[in-house]
Chains A and B, each alone.
Chain A
Amino acid sequence: MSTQPKITIATAWLDGCSGCHMSFLDLDERLIELVEQVDIVYSPLVDTKELPEQVDVGILEGSISSEDDLEKARLFRERCTLLVSLGDCAVTGNVPAMRNHFKLDAVLDRAYRENVTLQPQIPTRSVPALLTPVKPVHGEVKVDVFVPGCPPSADAIWAVLSELIAGRAPDPNAVTRFGA
């Protein structure tokens, strides 16, 4: 084990399907190699409840669709030295942004009234308000690295993380693309 302080990584899941986090887990045995070099200090994959004050690399999956997404994105930008948009939802808005073609009321009606048989109602308590329009992460905060893909493959995530850990600027376009 090296005595150098480990690089800290935080991840969050905004409006996405979690597929990018699943793809991250698809690193399989490389995860062991990864945790020798980094500390995952905050993530849906670990139990920490609070984002630490200072994190080296922040990774966001998903688009900004709600007040909660926006708050998380701003907090990540504030506390992370480097911010990564992981996957098409974070990079382009992707599928969540397809609701931008409709009025928000119509979208809510479709999901919570028209297609529901039991107690159709719009949820209002304990859920963050939805924003209009849905935006990619860089539509709200400055993003340093963009990793497109739906989801980016484990190999692409590995290539990007390896470059970041080595202190180099990654070239995600060499390993992934929109819709990959």
Chain B
Amino acid sequence: MPRPTPQPNVRVVTLRIDDRDLSAREDETLIEVCRENRIPIPSLCHLDGLSVWGGCRLCMVEIAGQGRLVAACSTRVAEGMTVQTDTERLRHYRRTIVELLFAERNHVCSVCVSNGHCELQSLAQRCGVDHVRLPYRQTPYPVDSSHEMFRLDHNRCILCTRCVRVCDEIEGAHTWDVMGRGSDCRVITDMARPWGESETCTSCGKCVQVCPTGALVKQGTSAGEMVKDQHFLPILARRRHAQ
């Protein structure tokens, strides 16, 4: 879904989120309204400044009168909408999603360069994941260290596609893509060539900074040293849309 272009005459709608009466511009999404009003909604693929992906399903919310859950990042507000963001059912699904992410690849926090700065790690804590009830898949994934500045560890990738989007939408290089399906799904550079051989990569490092985990990191960092800095994104995203 492309980023909504701000329109000069947008209407304001009123809606109810977690028993609070709120107003919002009609072109806003639920997650934007929640964030503005400090209603915490977990998410991993959504990042302010990038297009909407709706892939991680952590921001699912309940809308009164609708049986199915909707993703808050890809749902526009509507007049009279009644939304619940933190029910028992949602907590159960969110916890399960986080556990599935931990079980699928190899997220060993203690030896990760992003330990202490990882969105998956802090989300697990916030969602009440103190252990993973499913058996771990224990399947190793490759690590690409061919780039002289950065490293890609597929073991820690959660396929949020933030790297793909920031490279395409903000840097304009489109080095990243997604290949394969199911558990074989992975992010690739150029036509699945080693990152270090990429002809399109500008080595700007935006993908590294937006990556929520330790999948994309700077070379030379050791456990806990990879602190991400995403300040560039809202500034660049705003300027891009002002043009």
Residues of A within 8 A of B (CB): 85, 88, 91-95, 97-98, 100-101, 133, 135-136, 138-139, 143, 146-148, 150, 172-173, 177-179
- Is B111 interfacial (CB-CB < 8 Å)? yes
Are B131 and A91 closer than 8 Å at their CB atoms?
yes
A177-B125, A179-B115 are contacts. A88–B136 as well, Cβ < 8 Å? no
Q: Which of B124, B128, B135, B139 contacts A178 (CB 8 A)?
A: B124
Are B131 and A138 closer than 8 Å at their CB atoms?
yes
Q: Which candidate, B11-19, B102-110, B164-172, B232-240, is the interface stretch facing chain A?
A: B102-110
Residues of B within 8 A of A (CB): 102, 106-112, 115-116, 121-122, 124-126, 128-133, 135-136, 138-140
Complex formed: what's the CA distance from A85 to B130 in Å? 10
Complex formed: what's the CA distance from A154 to B131 in Å? 20
CB distance from A50 to the nearest CB of B (A): 29
Complex formed: what's the CA distance from A147 to B197 in Å? 44
Q: Which residues of A contact B129 (CB under 8 A)?
A: 173
CB distance from A168 to the nearest CB of B (A): 16
A97-B138, A139-B135 are contacts. A172–B110 as well, Cβ < 8 Å? no
CB distance from B171 to the nearest CB of A (A): 30
Are B116 and A101 closer than 8 Å at their CB atoms?
no
Q: Which of A94, A133, A139, A148 contacts B130 (CB 8 A)?
A: A148
CB distance from A139 to the nearest CB of B (A): 7
Q: Which 4 pairs, one residue from A and one from B, show the smallest C-beta to C-beta distance? A: A179-B109, A150-B110, A177-B125, A101-B140
Complex formed: what's the CA distance from A85 to B124 in Å? 17
A-B contact count (CB 8 A): 68
Complex formed: what's the CA distance from A178 to B132 in Å? 11
Are A173 and B125 closer than 8 Å at their CB atoms?
yes
Are A179 and B121 closer than 8 Å at their CB atoms?
yes
Complex formed: what's the CA distance from A167 to B108 in Å? 32
Q: Which residues of B contact A143 (CB under 8 A)?
A: 131
- B125 nearest CB neighbor, chain A only: A177
Among A85, A92, A136, A143, the most chain B Cβ lie within 10 Å of the Cβ of A92
CB distance from B136 to the nearest CB of A (A): 7
Are A95 and B108 closer than 8 Å at their CB atoms?
yes
Q: Which residues of A contact B112 (CB under 8 A)?
A: 179
Are A177 and B108 closer than 8 Å at their CB atoms?
no
A173-B125, A177-B124, A177-B125 are contacts. A101–B138 as well, Cβ < 8 Å? yes
Among A92, A94, A97, A179, the most chain B Cβ lie within 10 Å of the Cβ of A179
Complex formed: what's the CA distance from A91 to B110 in Å? 12
Are A146 and B109 closer than 8 Å at their CB atoms?
no
8 chain-A/chain-B pairs, Cβ below 8 angstroms: A92-B108, A98-B108, A101-B106, A101-B138, A138-B133, A172-B130, A178-B125, A179-B116
Q: Which residues of A contact B139 (CB under 8 A)?
A: 101
Are B128 and A95 closer than 8 Å at their CB atoms?
no
Complex formed: what's the CA distance from A138 to B136 in Å? 12
Are B110 and A95 closer than 8 Å at their CB atoms?
yes
